[in-house]
Amino acid sequence: MVKEISLGVGIAVVIFLAFRGINLFPALILVGIGYFLFNIFKNQGLGTKKSFNTHQGAEESFSDVTFEDIGGQETAKNELLEALEFVRDINKVKSLGIRPLKGIMLSGPPGTGKTLMAKAVARHIDSVFISTSGSEFVEMYAGVGAKRVRELFEKAKDSAHKKNKTNAVIFIDEIEILGGKRGQNSSHLEYDQTLNQLLVELDGMSIDDEINILVIGATNRIDILDKAILRPGRFDRIVKVDLPDKDGRHKILEIHTRDKPLAEDVDLEQIAKETFRFSGAHLESLANEAAIMAMRANSKEIKSSHFKEAIDKVMMGEKLNRRPRQEELERIAYHETGHALVAEFVKPGSVSTINITSRGKALGYVRHNPEDDHYLQTLNYLKGQIAICIAGAIAEEIILGNRSTGAANDFEKATELAKKIIFAGMSDLGVVSKDHLAPNKVQEEINKIITAEEERVNQWISSKQDLILEVVARLLEEESITGEEFRKKLQIK
């Protein structure tokens, strides 16, 4: 109503002045420029009471995610549940003189369930849940980030009041953008001011507050966070949310397939073995892709073959339309068969699939099937991995007479593995200092390690040339062969 009255008065004044013969053109230009600048500042949140831009769902009274919906993170869940007892039993905390839990930092690789954990926390303590990202706070205009931090905490309190809750959870994803080490951006102090405001808000929280606010941060770069944000009394708990192990992957697969019709030949434990270093997000995508492939095949159930195809897609990408020339395809087949043959010599039963179908950046690939997750690597294991890496190029050289550029990435991996041997003190150089060892010494030792493995691989491939020719013929005809079929041929030969 006020806007309409003001507009009417303004038009009347303009008409009156025009009849009096006053030139209004300069005034109109100034008004237009002022209106333009006002809108710019308004969009940046300056000089207005614009509410903080939280994500959709911030107004919900509580999250619908529970800890039972999260698999493969038992250690992190237990640590969180223990910490949340401080929030749920506030009277006991007061009686013992314990300071309130202000912040929890969730640290781990992308896709491991940090956001789900934060939502489960909100459900567990019956609180409102407000989610945002560190990038929402940083602007080029001074003071905007700090203002948005204040608004965020005010919004949490207001939402809790409206929903008759005593607790509120503020979740800040990618908090390293907001909480990075101060002084890194010397030309722009807006980053530091925003972090300072967050620290002020955390320090101002008390056990006697009417609304108990818990701040949860999530990051995969905890190493770049400012030390002040991680000190006791601010983010009191640092919870590691890591990639799941084999049992964890099995539980996650059970969660994501419980509403999907699985065929009898689907073995989730075997799939968990084949998905080493898959995150929870990868496994959810895997189950979804397997269902899509079953739909494409007009199958009412999701079969084991659909899961195997989905694993390849999640790991390597979609099949490409391009097809190499016949002579290139033949070289790729020799290359991948060489990898698979040596892999079976190094660790029998490790090959899952040999494929010469182009996916992503790979013209062909061998998918391995690790029996157990490796957290420590022995000298023999590392040498075996080097042998597998260089086997493709050596197979090309022995059978086709020369190598190709397709082995460039394999040799990069072999070099990194050799460096790992050297700097772990497992080479003939003994225990060495990475910073003081001469580069030429490192290169000499790398050559020595890889040359020794080349001799082993040469013997293995030379002794099985007939098998390689047979497998290559099969690959050129059908594009793939399973590890079981390959091992049967290997035993016969």
Which DSSP symbol is given to 113? S
DSSP-derived secondary structure for 419-430: HHHHHTT-STT-
pLDDT for res 457: 95
Long-range contact set of residues 300-303: C-beta below 8 Å, sequence gap at least 24? 300/261, 301/261, 301/262, 301/263, 302/257, 302/260, 302/261, 302/262, 302/263, 302/266, 303/263, 303/265, 303/266
CA distance 340 to 392: 9
Query: Where do we find the tokens 């910490």?
Result: 83
Residue 250 near residue 195 (C-beta atoms within 8 A): no
Residue 109 near residue 220 (C-beta atoms within 8 A): yes
**What are the per-10-residue average pLDDT scores of the chain (493 residues)?**
59 64 66 64 47 42 74 87 79 74 89 89 88 77 75 88 87 86 60 81 78 89 86 86 89 92 91 86 92 92 90 78 81 94 92 84 78 76 95 94 90 94 92 87 94 95 92 90 89 62
pLDDT for res 58: 39
Residue 216 near residue 85 (C-beta atoms within 8 A): no
pLDDT for res 65: 82
Active site residues: 336
Residue 202 dihedral angles phi and psi, to the nearest 5°? -65, -45
Residue 461 near residue 395 (C-beta atoms within 8 A): yes
Residue 283: CB partners within 8 Å, gap ≥ 6? Answer: 249, 252, 253, 256, 275
What SS3 class is residue 83?
A: helix
pLDDT for res 359: 77
110 sits in the region (left: phi over 0; alpha: psi -120 to 50; else beta) called beta
pLDDT for res 400: 92
- The verdict on pTM exceeding 0.75 is no
CA distance 217 to 235: 8
pLDDT for res 91: 73
